[in-house]
Structure 1
Amino acid sequence: MKILVIGSGGREHALVWKIAQSKKVYKIYCAPGNPGTSELAENINLKVTDLTGLMQFAKKNKIDLTVVGPENPLIEGIADLFNKNKLTIIGPDKKASQIEGSKVFAKKLLLKYKIPTAKFKVFDNYRKASFFLTRLHLVRGATSLNSLKYPLVIKADGLCAGKGVAVCHNKGEALKFLKLLLIDKVFGKSGNKIIIEECLSGPEVSFMVATDGSNFISFLPSQDHKSVFNDDKGPYTGGMGAYAPVPFVNYKLTKTIEDKIVKPTLEAMAKEGIPYQGILYPGLIITKDGPYVLEFNCRFGDPETQPLMMLLKTDIIDVFEAIVQKRVKNLKLDWYKGSAVCVVLTSKGYPGNYEKGIEIYGLDKLNKKNNIVAFQAGTKKIDNKIFTNGGRVLGVTARGVNLKEAIKNAYKNLGNNQINFSGMHYRKDIGKKGIKTVNNYLLDTSNRKKITYSQVGDNYETKDPVLRLTQKAAAETAKELEKSGYKGLEETRGSSAFVWKQGDYLMATVLECLGTKNLVADEMRKITGKTYYDSIAQDTVATFINDLSTVGAKSLVIEAYWAIEDNTWFSDTKQMTHFITGWKNACIMAGAAWGGGETPTLKGIINPGTIDLAGSAVGIIEPSHRLITDDKLQKGDRILLLKSNGPNANGISLARKIAKKLKKGYRTKLPSGEFYGEAILKPTNIYSRLIQDLLDEVEIHYIVNITGHGLRKLMRARQNYSYILEKIFEPQEVFCFIQKHAGLSDYEMYQTYNMGMDYGIFLKSQDVEKAQKVIKRHHFESIDAGYVGEGPRRVEVTPKKIIYKSETYQIR
């Protein structure tokens, strides 16, 4: 292939560097390029704004694919021109590029489609804007912008090379920046309209995706450093450095960004009749309420592209081809392990006036070093020497086994006797935000006193023998059922639900209790004012309904058991309303009628101000061949694991014990900014309708509700099989937090908690794809995790190198 890269900065050098590694490419051009790109490509003396010249060059030289680096040509319509001339190009058309070209367009799109962003107001003259500022006092969450509170943000509508934004801490700063934009016209027509918006608080994240207009795939999240000086001080720049990946952007947060921002944005553009194809890059801020959009970019970020290209193992041409051939859905990205950091070196005075033509020394010293590249940007070559020729001069980019090593590898190559030039400026703290995050949340348990589950009053080693004894005693009562003309199915004895034959019908029943999760809700109410009892009700119903579904039963009737110390618990009208409504809604989610229940007053047994929650359900298995028992389980069956919302109702006693040891208790924030208590309180999924729909489509051989005993529960069946997990979901951050503060090993965590996977479905391999489509239709997530193999009976969690032997789980 012959490739044309448009641009002359560090981003373009990084793209050329990555493209040059592709076996599919035999010739690269870069227009206009820089001395760095000239070592890998043929530079072409065409400006990025010369759209016609670029098109004619691509046509004449039979370019197979053009990659656009900067935003200007995209916003001016280069994609339209290339497409009109049947030339393949990566990037959105002129209309779609408005998403970056006009912040007003982007903000109105976000508002219309309810995609999270800061509240804002648009102005096009100084008088109205300044008058507005004199009367404002903004409170986050307010329904209007009739009043503002400083700091606030003012943005120019159009392109300003990353410098058209100011965070104003008082009225004087705000009016001064308004004057620069609307009166002095320092950014020309880009400042004809301005936005005044609330100032959001939280860490910022660069989140880039490749999209073909219908589907998208995410690159690793990265973090830019916009301010010119350390500690995010000084004026904004085009970017002083970046690193990837971002430690606090875990799987859960990534999924939230994809589901709440990326997907809705692409759908919104399509609904507006402006389908988006290419690289979409939302600049985000992670607030206490989740990710919000600060701005959009219609291309790769600079300097974020530099560390991303260092980490990307996949051929970048595969990515581009998937975009243009509309098969992003089938694309998979592979990444090198570790981190990468880019430190930008600038000319003295940047982002203001700066000198050019200063010789750069030390670049030759990097030629023989692995995993480090000086991507050139504002440079020029004269007589085989490299000189400065712009504000941002170089992006020294290094990879390491972790973020700390990557930072070290980048910085050790700067300064005297290394890369240097007169007046060279760079930030000394690129990536340190990530290090701080790692230090705060890394699972370093070496100096922590271990807190075990048995220490908080629940020990399966002592409880399980009692359960086995009760199961034996219960089996001895089977004849009493037969005296009534019915027959119990002994293969379900000890499973999650008991089944009996009643005439032509198979009936099932189960009883379960919530445990102590409601005590967390009581404590969190003191912090946030929310009762959380709507989700507590769902949790309680889920404990027995999800058990009932494991045998294939359709739930019919639910009974409630709410035990209190005295009637004062019921006098809290707000709490009771939320709880009763939540219970009703959970019954509807389960497809069951709420038959009634019992509300005993147990003074001396139940603690004052608390409630003990439980319930039972009866279901029907109709037709009878939908019965699910381990009799159907076979060697070679695949294991689908469903993604949980969090701990559900298990392991809460240990989680509560940890809260007591934390200085801020449940108010302690996790890396995402979420309160520890709220992370524990995420409601349990209810799967009854899903299982009934699955039974309509596929044959289910077995189901395990992963509650107590963690992943050991997968060997609940009676057969002598092994259960091999080749892939697992990443655990939510709350599990990592618990593990860190309890000082527990992976082995102990995965035998106690669901660790992000709360339902195991066993079925034939040929039914996996069909089943996953049904699961997705119900808005749940699944992973084809592994298979059922020959004995001995055990569970292997391959990604964690954990094996649970048969003797660790001796009940059904």
Structure 2
Amino acid sequence: MNILILGSGGREHAMAWAVLQNPKCDRLIVAPGNAGIADIAECAALDILDGAAVAAFADEESIDFVIVGPEAPLAAGVTDALIAAGVAVFGPSAAAARLEASKAFTKEICDAVGAPTAAWGRFDDAGAARRWMADRPLPIVVKADGLAAGKGVTVAATLAEAEAALDDIFGGMHGRAEVVIEEFLHGEEASFFCLVDGDTILPIGTAQDHKRLGEGDTGPNTGGMGAYSPAPVMTPQVERRALEEIVRPTMAEMVRRGTPFRGVLFVGLMIEGGVPSLVEYNVRFGDPECQCLMMRLGGQALDLMLACAEGRLAEARVNWADDHAICVVLAAEGYPGAARRGTAIRGLESLPRDSGHMVFHAGTARTDGVVVADGGRVLGVAARADTLAAARDGAYAMVDGIDWPGGFCRRDIGWRAL
């Protein structure tokens, strides 16, 4: 098969790495890719938000299967354009992608089916938002309603923090000046991933992300400073409740509305006392959770995504080893604010690249033959082992082999489980 992956981050590098392990893959193109992806696959300059351009490229290159990595092309309708052109694609339609593209839409779905989630309000007026917040307990969660690349959420400990977040959103920082405000959910957060082909739901793994910038889960929210899989808090009982009380009712409601979901559903949960509540849905793999899942799934990831795209999930099975994976994110100085770009990263070529050790590139470029930082989250150092402690040790040993004075990482990824 000729396969095209859309995206340029660590998630897409991990998916490319896994896809290449499957003998079904004859040729792999990633658009636009990055410096690390270019070492293992062809990269192509392509506007991945332009559905017509992606469909035309797929035709020119005789692409058999397209995997859409990030959320923006999904919200822009790239899947719809590919399906109309007769190209098999992994990823939901634009209508189904509203589960991520609009936080208010997801909340309305939850209300319609009685799925447990935080009390909420949606506002396009700052004054009304402030009045609603004034009567709620702190902390409180303020979210930009549209896509915000993982940066549109503020967990405000004080009313002043919440009002500052409102000022940012209504000032246009994240595009649409609309906000969803939620009461704070207490407990432990986890990520639950399911493949869905409309009717059939296949759980494919759990993970726990570390969103806060600093060790001990302190500091501002980020796109994710590291993750590990599986997440111990996701017991079989919790997983069963999440499926029956949240995922299945939501997917049934999407079918009822004439917008069935097909792709990977990333279910963000808060778990307290063994009871899960929905924090949010994403309609693609998380980053850096995807790096952990791909390390554990390997080549079967392609078979599973193909079965999902072709409506064959009912016959698919996930073959898990009794193992653990971890991914430590190295970010550029200044992140999550203005990250410093162009700093040289050395030592990568001396690190192992095998089924238990990989460095996935997220925001890199190559200048005069040298890998340089070209984003905020730059590298994802991933390791897999029989125990989480061994995986952690393997990942940090690789981190210590990277010569990059312009980067930093958290040293406590996996601390909740360990």
Answer yes or no: same fold by TM over 0.5: yes
Equivalent pair of 2:344/2:372 in contact (CA under 8 Å): yes
Q: Tell me which of 352, 371, 386 is aligned to 2:371.
A: 386
1:426 paired with 2:409, answer: yes
1:160 paired with 2:160, answer: no
1:30 paired with 2:30, answer: yes
| SS of corresponding position for 2:408 | coil
5+ residue gaps, structure 1, are: 137-147, 436-812
Equivalent pair of 1:215/1:329 in contact (CA under 8 Å): yes
- 2:391 maps to 406
- 2:235 maps to 250
Change (3 A) 1:127 1:406: same
Deviations 1:412-452 (A, max 9, x none): 1223xx113122111111111111xxxxxxxxxxxxxxxxx
| Alpha-carbon distance in structure 1 between the residues aligned to 2:274 and 2:387 | 29
| Alpha-carbon distance in structure 1 between the residues aligned to 2:240 and 2:16 | 30
5 Å-filtered alignment, 1:643-662, equals none
Equivalent pair of 1:314/1:335 in contact (CA under 8 Å): no
| SS of corresponding position for 2:279 | strand
Please tell me the residue identity of whatever aligns with 1:17: W
Equivalent pairs counted in the alignment come to: 418
Equivalent pair of 1:79/1:91 in contact (CA under 8 Å): yes
Deviates further, 14-23 or 306-315: 306-315
- 1:44 maps to 44
| Alpha-carbon distance in structure 2 between the residues aligned to 1:409 and 1:365 | 14
| Alpha-carbon distance in structure 2 between the residues aligned to 1:239 and 1:100 | 17
Change (3 A) 1:405 1:367: closer
Q: Tell me which of 175, 178, 182 is aligned to 1:188.
A: 175
Equivalent pair of 1:314/1:333 in contact (CA under 8 Å): no
- CA displacement at 1:314 relative to structure 2: 5.6
| Alpha-carbon distance in structure 2 between the residues aligned to 1:380 and 1:368 | 19
| Alpha-carbon distance in structure 1 between the residues aligned to 2:353 and 2:243 | 39
Change (3 A) 1:268 1:10: same
| Alpha-carbon distance in structure 2 between the residues aligned to 1:265 and 1:223 | 22
- CA displacement at 1:370 relative to structure 2: 5.4
TM-score, structure 1 as length reference:
0.51
Equivalent pair of 1:90/1:320 in contact (CA under 8 Å): yes
- CA displacement at 1:313 relative to structure 2: 4.8
1:149 paired with 2:137, answer: yes
Please tell me the residue identity of whatever aligns with 1:389: D
Deviations 1:241-270 (A, max 9, x none): 110001231222211111111111111111
Deviations 1:743-801 (A, max 9, x none): xxxxxxxxxxxxxxxxxxxxxxxxxxxxxxxxxxxxxxxxxxxxxxxxxxxxxxxxxxx
- CA displacement at 1:197 relative to structure 2: 1.1
Equivalent pair of 1:242/1:343 in contact (CA under 8 Å): yes
- 1:17 maps to 17
| Alpha-carbon distance in structure 2 between the residues aligned to 1:85 and 1:362 | 44
Equivalent pair of 2:51/2:79 in contact (CA under 8 Å): no
Equivalent pair of 1:156/1:181 in contact (CA under 8 Å): yes
Please tell me the residue identity of whatever aligns with 2:107: K
| SS of corresponding position for 2:104 | helix
5 Å-filtered alignment, 1:240-639, equals 240-288=225-273, 290-313=275-298, 315-367=300-352, 371-415=356-400, 418-435=401-418
- CA displacement at 1:53 relative to structure 2: 1.9
| SS of corresponding position for 2:372 | strand
- 2:106 maps to 106
Task: Calculate the aligned-residue CA RMSD, in Å.
Answer: 1.3
Change (3 A) 1:420 1:48: farther
- CA displacement at 1:382 relative to structure 2: 2.2
| Alpha-carbon distance in structure 2 between the residues aligned to 1:426 and 1:284 | 25
Deviations 1:451-474 (A, max 9, x none): xxxxxxxxxxxxxxxxxxxxxxxx
Q: Tell me which of 166, 180, 188 is aligned to 1:178.
A: 166
| SS of corresponding position for 1:269 | helix
5+ residue gaps, structure 2, are: none
| Alpha-carbon distance in structure 1 between the residues aligned to 2:243 and 2:153 | 26
| Alpha-carbon distance in structure 1 between the residues aligned to 2:255 and 2:291 | 30
| SS of corresponding position for 1:412 | helix
- CA displacement at 1:48 relative to structure 2: 2.3
| Alpha-carbon distance in structure 2 between the residues aligned to 1:370 and 1:127 | 54
- 2:121 maps to 121
Higher strand share: 2
Equivalent pair of 1:313/1:335 in contact (CA under 8 Å): no
Higher helix share: 1
Runs of at least 4 residues off by over 4 Å: none
Deviates further, 423-432 or 70-79: 423-432
Deviations 1:293-343 (A, max 9, x none): 111111111110001111115622211221122121111101232200000
| Alpha-carbon distance in structure 2 between the residues aligned to 1:220 and 1:67 | 19
Please tell me the residue identity of whatever aligns with 1:267: A
| Alpha-carbon distance in structure 2 between the residues aligned to 1:247 and 1:278 | 25
Equivalent pair of 1:313/1:334 in contact (CA under 8 Å): no
| SS of corresponding position for 1:278 | strand
Equivalent pair of 1:313/1:336 in contact (CA under 8 Å): no
Please tell me the residue identity of whatever aligns with 1:27: R
Please tell me the residue identity of whatever aligns with 1:68: V
- CA displacement at 1:77 relative to structure 2: 0.3
| Alpha-carbon distance in structure 2 between the residues aligned to 1:301 and 1:248 | 18
- 1:483 maps to none
| Alpha-carbon distance in structure 2 between the residues aligned to 1:370 and 1:284 | 29
| Alpha-carbon distance in structure 2 between the residues aligned to 1:316 and 1:131 | 47
- CA displacement at 1:29 relative to structure 2: 0.3
Please tell me the residue identity of whatever aligns with 1:104: A
- CA displacement at 1:368 relative to structure 2: 5.5
Change (3 A) 1:196 1:393: same
- 1:463 maps to none
* Paired-residue identity, %: 38
